[in-house]
Amino acid sequence: MAEDDIARWALKIEYDGTNYVGWQRQKDGLSIQTLIEAAASKLVGGRAVSSITAGRTDAGVHASGMVIHLDFPADAPINGRQIRDGMGYYLKPHPVVVLQAAPVSLDWSARFSATWRSYRFTILNRQARPALQENHVWHVKRSLDVDLMQEGANFLLGTHDFTSFRAIACQAKSAVRTLDVLKIHREGDLVLVDTQARSFLHHQVRNMVGSLVMVGSRQWPTEKMRDILQAKNRCAAGPTSPPDGLCLTGVGYPEDPFA
């Protein structure tokens, strides 16, 4: 569609990624993008609606504050409430929900206008397996020392080459990233890892958490995190944590479109 034919809307969405192949449309399996675009299309009488996301979550990863933008036909008689409630109706019974919708200019991009992304990784640290939190936590039986984990995490703050923490299949041209936040704390049986950066490499958060668990369980000294960074080799780092515990919690912009 030509620009004159487009009305761009920013959406904040949440979803449970357990049974999906991730955000991006795939040849095999159902994606969040496919569900979103299908619901948006139904809202405007079957016409095509394209989407761009602030971040591509992997299969099994969740989101509580994902931001996307949709390009609707400009002549579609819709408003923010109709987008939220109408798409909410068409997305049933899938656990995908539109929280907010706001009109934005055509030069605004959910991806390229974003200045930061934040994630939370949740670890259930107890002997008994999860019941209520199944598919939303990484169950780690071995006792974790969050103070040691934070000491190890501090080596990762700032600007570094994160080659050791990127997936082998990562397509980013550069492994240099600036990690602004990496905070770890305990709430009962839960160990919560909160992190924020302008952007992350593929599997970066899950790989950092996998190594930090090795530190928290006293299998590695805290200084090992510094050595892993300096190695610039994925084989030097710990295992990739499962997707279950990872949730994209927010995306920041110079001006909040939903304010």
Q: How confident is the model at residue 2 (pLDDT cuts 50, 70, 90)?
A: low
pTM of the full structure: 0.95
The answer to whether the 3-113 and 116-250 domains have the same CATH topology is yes
pLDDT at 4: 74
Q: Are strands 158-161 and 138-139 parallel, antiparallel or unpaired?
A: unpaired
Tens-digit pLDDT profile for residues 60-106: 999 999 999 999 999 999 999 999 999 999 999 999 999 999 999 99
pLDDT at 3: 65
CATH number of 116-250: 3.30.70.660
Residue bearing tokens 């009305």: 7
Assess if CATH 3.30.70.580 describes domain 3-113. yes
Q: What are the structural domain ranges in the chain?
A: 3-113, 116-250
| Stronger pLDDT, 2 or 142, i.e. the higher one | 142
15 belongs to an annotated ligand binding site? no
User: Mean of the pLDDT values across residues 125-145?
Assistant: 98
Tens-digit pLDDT profile for residues 196-207: 999 999 999 999
- Reply yes or no on whether 58 is catalytic: yes
Tens-digit pLDDT profile for residues 40-66: 999 999 999 999 999 999 999 999 999
Arithmetic mean of pLDDT over the chain: 96
Q: How confident is the model at residue 172 (pLDDT cuts 50, 70, 90)?
A: very high
Q: Give the active site residue among 4, 16, 28, 58.
A: 58
